[in-house]
Chains A and B, each alone.
Chain A
Amino acid sequence: MTAFTSLLARDMRIAVRVGGGALMGALFFLTVVVMMPFALGPDLALLARIGPAILWLGALLASLLALDRLFATDHEDGSLDLLMMGRMPLELAIAGKGLAHWLTTGLPLVVISPVLGLMLNIEARAMGAVALTLAVGTPALTFIGLVGAGLSVALRRGGLLLAVLVLPLTIPVLIFGVAAANAAIIGGVPFGPPFTILCALSLASLVIGPIAAAAALRFGLE
């Protein structure tokens, strides 16, 4: 497990140092959410109703933002080749990189989301539930995104291709995330079922994401 933890520490160190993408995602998230009231008008009742959807969309776009450099920098400096030849299974290495990416990009989103929820007029009690759905759902976004990151580095194309490939696959996460958040705010429907399905989606993508990304890298870089 030492190889795994050292990879995790290395990726997190790179992310927080100069040129790293950590907190950039949180900043982008903040900007997207701030843009929304300008487009929709400062109607607090409306914002309270669609607030969870805004937060979820912002989180989705922000977690995509840093993904296309996830393997690309490692590919350029050759460390990806070392990971592929090393004794640690490539799937595990990719899971480690995904975890580091989530800790530096996804987790900050979850942490600042209550502040933004305040600006969107979501009440404090419900905001806890929204933050909880984001905490459970953003790993799914990152790990589904791993597949797109693997494919785009194999083809040496990043950016828009990644978004086109990954966004349709994240629709279930978005549906259940927003459904659970709305259930907590509006009520009427139980919070449990959509939330547990969201957990299931996260757990499934935790397995499928690294396996598919490893396959994409192996087939693409051979």
Chain B
Amino acid sequence: MALIDLANPTRFLRLVQRVLPWLIAATVVLFVIGLYQSVNAPDDYQQGATVKIMYLHVPSAWLGMMGWALMSAAALGTLVWRHPLADVAGKAAAPIGAAFTFICLVTGSLWGRPTWGTYWVWDARLTSMLVLLLLYLGVMALYWTAEDPGRGSRAAAVLTLVGALNLPIIKFSVDWWNTLHQTESIFRMGGPTIAPSILWPLVVMTLAFTCLFVTLHLMAMRNEILRRRVRTMQLMQAQALAEASA
């Protein structure tokens, strides 16, 4: 099925109906395997059991960033090809991406407490994730304030693309700022590679969370399409009432 065929919302909804049970099943299976593996994964010799926060933290960080990439692709679809589904995809992705970014920040600070001794440091990675969350909230505010869904989605698409240009700059500037002011390096994932016994559960958990993201995204897109239909029907009803009384 070509991408343009999905411009018909009914066809898209039918596809979602067919795909969704499989996706949910895949998500559940992956989570069962991933959680079992991560519970049984060995503790870190230094951090003890707290290293298991990683199985929640790393996938959410990845999905927080993937969410913005998806929204940028959707923004191009909205502005360049005027694909009717693209703005639905962008709007549906924003709260999910923001939620994963938030989970990443919360788990990160909970992990930071026992390992670094503090909940929050103005470290480069933390700060750039926080800015990402702020940008997500800005896009959501933009969708929220628009009276007309079409106009709001085009405005949000412009902002998403500007944000996509700016995110690497922000990331890089924050890195630079950090190295200037902070000599102590706290967070080094590189260096010694992760042992396979810890790495494999992480891979499975990342896949599981990605499946969860896709499932939630498709469901949110379905809800958005239905919400817009309800809105159109309400508008038509109001118009009919106004004509009847006139």
- Chain A residues in contact with chain B, CB under 8 A? 147, 150-151, 154-157, 161, 164-165, 167-169, 171-172, 175-176, 179, 189, 194, 197, 201, 208, 212, 215-216, 219-220
Contact = CB atoms under 8 A, between A and B. Distances in A.
A75 B158 CA distance: 19
B15 interface: no
Contacts, number: 83
A212 B161 CA distance: 9
A214 to B, nearest CB: 10
28 contacts: A151-B142, A151-B155, A151-B158, A155-B152, A156-B147, A161-B141, A165-B159, A167-B134, A168-B131, A168-B135, A171-B173, A172-B169, A172-B172, A172-B173, A175-B174, A175-B176, A175-B177, A176-B173, A179-B176, A179-B180, A189-B180, A197-B173, A208-B162, A216-B155, A219-B79, A219-B151, A219-B157, A219-B158
B158 A165 contact: no
A78 to B, nearest CB: 19
Contacts of B138: 164-165, 168
By size class, the interface of chain B is: 20 to 34
Interface string B173-184: 110110010000
B145 interface: yes
Contacts of B19: none
A99 B141 CA distance: 28
B149 to A, nearest CB: 12
B131 A164 contact: no
B158 A175 contact: no
Interface string B125-164: 0000001001101100110011100011011011101110
A173 to B, nearest CB: 9
Contacts of A151: 142, 155, 158-159
B231 to A, nearest CB: 17
Nearest to B134: A168
Contacts of A156: 147
A161 to B, nearest CB: 6
Contacts of B177: 175, 179
B155 A220 contact: yes
Nearest to B158: A216
Given A165-B142, A168-B134, A147 B170 contact: no
B199 interface: no
Contacts of B180: 179, 189
B142 A155 contact: yes
B88 to A, nearest CB: 16
A215 B172 CA distance: 26
A161 B145 contact: yes
A169 B131 CA distance: 9
Nearest to A176: B173
Nearest to A166: B138
Contact of A201 (B134, B137, B169): B169
B151 A154 contact: yes
Given A151-B158, A155-B146, A171-B173, A164 B141 contact: yes
B163 A212 contact: no
A219 B154 contact: yes
Nearest to B143: A155
Interface string B103-137: 00000000000000000000000000001001101
Given A176-B173, A189-B180, A215-B79, A147 B159 contact: yes
A172 B177 CA distance: 9
Given A151-B155, A208-B162, A220-B154, 20 more contacts: A147-B162, A151-B158, A151-B159, A154-B151, A155-B152, A156-B147, A164-B138, A168-B135, A171-B170, A171-B174, A172-B166, A172-B173, A175-B173, A179-B176, A179-B180, A197-B173, A212-B161, A216-B158, A216-B159, A220-B155
